[in-house]
């Protein structure tokens, strides 16, 4: 039974994944090449546990147990040596991920499952750099991990059924809802979400409607919790552009061509929440949603 795991990459997703496993009594080694990032990750997990305590969904005792279940390391080889599952959540860059998987294949125990949290890189391609393609799988958590219920599980071409079943069971142990899909550009989540966001940007670009109208129509008309332009700001416009380009390249279809406005905004450093401006403007302490002056 899997009780000991390693998470590679301690950024936005890695700290959330470590948090959720540790909270469910798994022993977690959280690995990053950047020590400051590891320290920040532990502080973020502690802050998010405090938030759960304030909401009444956790206790001081559970917080202490959760933090105690996590150790950090900058040494990938030592960090994975007892793991039966490694989840890679490093930077979304194919070369970085392929190198990590080559290294993991050499150092992780032979029966260890190697999972990736990639949003868009082919699982089959990642698996192909290892000698255990049958034990490589996508385990795509959603942001923020402690809150979002879905885990999109992606079978590579050679993933064994027992491996998929083990990851499905594990996701349920984390009180998540797993959905299994097959490897294709964007999998399911981003294959459907990103063209919708791109279409919303095209509608704005063509002057069919303004930012607020597009988002309100999708929120109130389709019961989406957030409009597509606000969601794009939240995800990061650079991340959206990368994923749309993965669909465009993967399917070789004009249907997925990124909107010129999106390309322009990314070139111009308007990346959404993280840069302070996208379709809306974001200022510390201001909770009101204000449309960027560019679109007024
Ligand atoms: P991030 O930039 O916040 O964190 C990435 C971390 O990886 C950094 O701390 C970096 O130091 C570390 N890293 C880079 N190279 C490394 C290496 N060789 N070994 C160990 N650590 C290394 O990124 P993120 O947003 O957490 O995304 C991580 C993965 O999760 C990506 O594949 C991304 O596509 C996917 N994802 C992201 C989201 C999201 O909303 N952010 C949602 C779902 C999936």
The reported pLDDT for the residue numbered 246 is 95
Is the CB of 190 within 6 Å of ligand 1?
no
Q: Note the pLDDT tens digit of each residue in 139-149.
A: 999 999 999 99
Gap between the Cα atoms of 49 and 37, Å rounded? 18
What is the domain-level CATH number for residue 12? Answer: 3.40.50.720
Gap between the Cα atoms of 154 and 152, Å rounded? 6
Q: Where are the beta strands (DSSP E) in 37-190?
A: 70-73, 85-88, 113-116, 136-141, 150-155, 177-182
- Overall number of domains in the chain: 2
- Do residues 132 and 114 lie in contact, with contact meaning Cβ atoms separated by under 8 Å? yes
Q: Are residues 143 and 60 in the same domain?
A: yes
Residue with tokens 């007024």: 296
Q: What separation in Å is there between the alpha carbon of 33 and the centre of ligand 1?
A: 11
140 is catalytic: yes
Q: Are strands 85-88 and 113-116 parallel, antiparallel or unpaired?
A: parallel
Q: Are residues 146 and 235 in the same domain?
A: no
Gap between the Cα atoms of 60 and 91, Å rounded? 32
Is the CB of 130 within 6 Å of ligand 1?
no
The reported pLDDT for the residue numbered 37 is 97
Q: Are residues 197 and 178 in the same domain?
A: no
- Do residues 85 and 170 lie in contact, with contact meaning Cβ atoms separated by under 8 Å? yes
Q: Are residues 38 and 123 in the same domain?
A: yes
> Which whole-number Å values give the CA distances from 103 to 29, 108, 140, in the listed order?
16, 8, 21
Q: Are residues 212 and 110 in the same domain?
A: no
Mean pLDDT of 186-199: 98
pLDDT at 196 over 90: yes
Has residue 296 been placed in a domain? Answer: no
Q: Are residues 65 and 174 in the same domain?
A: yes
Catalytic option among 48, 171, 190, 292: 190
Q: Are residues 167 and 34 in the same domain?
A: yes
Q: Are residues 156 and 260 in the same domain?
A: no
pLDDT at 118 over 90: yes
What is residue 152's three-state secondary structure? strand
Residue 125 belongs to domain spanning: 4-182
Is the CB of 155 within 6 Å of ligand 1?
no
pLDDT at 286 over 90: no
Q: Are residues 21 and 116 in the same domain?
A: yes
Q: What separation in Å is there between the alpha carbon of 118 and the centre of ligand 1?
A: 8
| Residue 177, phi then psi, degrees to nearest 5 | -110, 110
**Cα atoms in the Cβ-side hemisphere of radius 13 Å centred on 287:** 0
From the alpha carbon of 16, which atom of ligand 1 is closest?
Answer: 26
Is the CB of 8 within 6 Å of ligand 1?
yes
Pocket test for ligand 1, best of 7, 9, 72, 145 (most atoms within 8 A of CB): 9
Of all residues in the chain, the percent with pLDDT exceeding 90 is 97
Mean pLDDT of 171-192: 98
Q: Are residues 163 and 199 in the same domain?
A: no
Locate 20 and state its tokens: 């959720």
pLDDT at 284 over 90: no
Mean pLDDT of 238-262: 97
Average pLDDT of every residue of the chain: 97
- Do residues 87 and 4 lie in contact, with contact meaning Cβ atoms separated by under 8 Å? no
Q: Note the pLDDT tens digit of each residue in 149-172.
A: 999 999 999 999 999 999 999 999
190 is catalytic: yes
Locate 154 and state its tokens: 């992606």
Of the residues 182, 200, 219, which one is the last residue of a structural domain?
182
At 22, the pLDDT band (50, 70, 90 cuts) reads very high
Of the residues 128, 151, 182, which one is the last residue of a structural domain?
182
The reported pLDDT for the residue numbered 2 is 79
Mean pLDDT of 69-96: 96
Residue 272's beta-bridge partner residues? 277
pLDDT at 72 over 90: yes
Of the residues 123, 151, 182, which one is the last residue of a structural domain?
182
Helix or strand run (H / E) with residue 275? none
253 is catalytic: no
pLDDT at 1 over 90: no
- By alpha-carbon position, which residue is closest to atom 40 of ligand 1? 143
């Amino acid at each position: 039974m899997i009780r000991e795991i390693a998470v590679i990459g301690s950024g936005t997703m890695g700290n959330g994944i470590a948090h959720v496993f540790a909270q469910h009594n798994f022993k977690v080694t959280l690995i990053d090449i950047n020590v400051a990032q590891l320290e920040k990750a532990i502080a973020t997990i502690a802050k998010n546990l405090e938030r759960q305590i304030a909401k009444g969904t956790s206790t001081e005792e559970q917080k202490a147990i959760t933090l105690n279940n996590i150790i950090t390391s900058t040494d990938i080889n030592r960090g994975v040596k007892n793991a039966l599952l490694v989840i890679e959540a490093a930077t979304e860059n194919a070369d970085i991920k392929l190198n990590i998987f080559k290294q993991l294949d050499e150092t992780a125990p032979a029966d260890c499952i190697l999972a990736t949290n990639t949003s868009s890189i082919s699982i089959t391609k990642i698996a192909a750099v290892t000698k255990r393609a049958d034990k490589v799988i996508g385990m795509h958590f959603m942001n923020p991990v402690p809150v979002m219920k879905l885990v999109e599980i992606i079978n590579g071409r050679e993933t064994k059924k027992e491996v998929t079943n083990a990851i499905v069971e594990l996701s349920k142990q984390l009180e998540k809802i797993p959905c299994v899909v097959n490897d294709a550009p964007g999998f399911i989540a981003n294959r459907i979400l990103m063209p919708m966001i791109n279409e919303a940007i095209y509608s704005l670009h063509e002057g069919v409607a303004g930012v607020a109208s597009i988002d309100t129509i999708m929120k109130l008309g389709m019961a989406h919790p957030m409009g597509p332009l606000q969601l794009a700001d939240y995800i990061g416009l650079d991340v959206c552009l990368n994923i749309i380009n993965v669909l465009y390249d993967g399917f070789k279809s004009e249907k997925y061509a990124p909107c010129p406005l999106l390309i322009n905004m990314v070139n111009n450093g308007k990346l959404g929440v993280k840069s302070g401006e996208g379709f809306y403007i974001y200022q510390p302490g201001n909770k009101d949603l204000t449309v960027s002056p560019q679109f007024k």
